[in-house]
Chain A
Amino acid sequence: MTDIRLTNDPLDINACISAVMTPQAGGIDVFIGTVRDHTKGKTVLWLEFEAYESMAIMEMQKIVASATEQWPLHRLVLHHRTGRLEVGEVPVVIAVSAAHRDAAFAACLYIIDTLKQTVPIWKKEFFEDGEVWVAAHP
């Protein structure tokens, strides 16, 4: 079972975890991204996430397919949010269940690291004195 979602609505962490629970699993690994209140010493007021939705879903599907080929996983949830997120809110949740913890940890790390490199989603940070698209400029 895999569940991939890109949504404007708040993510339900508990639902993501429940969705990967199965008697066959010996463990669940979860990554929860949260909006940090500062970057490089500056106070962040809020973030906005924008996605190229059709391609983002396809890239998320590729990552999930690659993870399930590399590790013996039981269930996998990958949810990402778009729109305005306040400090402390959750832009991404990844939950992975597997028979043994090594596979769950490795797959979860692979999924978040790859998502940050390939999925067409962009984050804009809003400060008191302006706004910046993250990673856009050298």
Chain B
Amino acid sequence: MDINILGFGIAREIFGSGQVSLPLGNAATVADMRSALEKQYPRLGQLATYMVAVNNEYAANTRTLQPTDEIAIIPPVSGG
């Protein structure tokens, strides 16, 4: 399956775009997506940390992804 991933802040700059597409096996988890993404965008792995949001909620690494999910990379937040 292909999933679409939104990037914000430094993740958007690393992707070179606000949204990228990534091929993943069916029933791939957030952890699977992280490793595939970091292979394609090594600078992502150099961040202090980053979270993954699925459908506007922080998601655990064990969460299974669906092609219809809204997935986003959340670098360390710095609002306020």
Contact between B72 and A116, CB atoms less than 8 A apart = no
By beta carbon, the residue of chain B nearest A54 is B56
Question: Binary interface profile of B, 38-80, with partner A (CB < 8 Å = 1, else 0)?
Answer: 0000000011100001001110000000000000101111111
Interface check B15, CB cutoff 8 A: no
Q: How large is the interface on B (under 10, 10 to 19, 20 to 34, 35 or more residues)?
A: 20 to 34
- Complexed CA–CA distance, A116 and B79 (Å): 5
What A residues does B47 contact at CB under 8 A?
136-137
A119 with B48: CB separation less than 8 A: no
Annotate B1-20 by CB proximity to A: 1 below 8 A, 0 otherwise. 00000101110110000000
Contact partners of B6 in chain A: CB under 8 A: 52
Closest CB-CB distance, A106 to chain B, in whole Å?
Answer: 17
- Which residues of the partner chain B approach A50 to less than 8 Å between Cβ atoms? 8-9, 12
Contact partner of B9 (CB less than 8 A), chosen from A115, A119, A136, is A136
Assess whether B10 is in contact with A133, with CB atoms less than 8 Å apart: yes
* A118 proximal to B (CB < 8 A): yes
- For residue A58, give the distance in angstroms from its CB to the closest CB of chain B: 5
B75: which of A33, A117, A133 is its contact (CB, 8 Å)?
Answer: A133
SS class, residues of chain A in contact with chain B: mixed
Chain A contacts for B46, CB-based, 8 A: 137
With both chains docked as a complex, state the minimum distance between the C-beta of A11 and any C-beta of chain B, in angstroms. 13
Q: How far is the CA of A69 from the CA of B78 in the complex (A)?
A: 25
The answer to whether residues A136 and B53 also contact, given A33-B80, A116-B80 and a CB cut-off of 8 A, is no
Give chain A nearest CB distance to B6 CB in angstroms: 7
Q: Decide if A75 is an interface residue (CB 8 Å cutoff).
A: no
Q: List 19 A-B contacts (CB under 8 A).
A: A52-B6, A52-B72, A58-B56, A58-B57, A80-B79, A80-B80, A91-B79, A91-B80, A92-B79, A112-B80, A116-B79, A120-B74, A121-B79, A121-B80, A122-B78, A124-B9, A133-B13, A136-B9, A136-B75
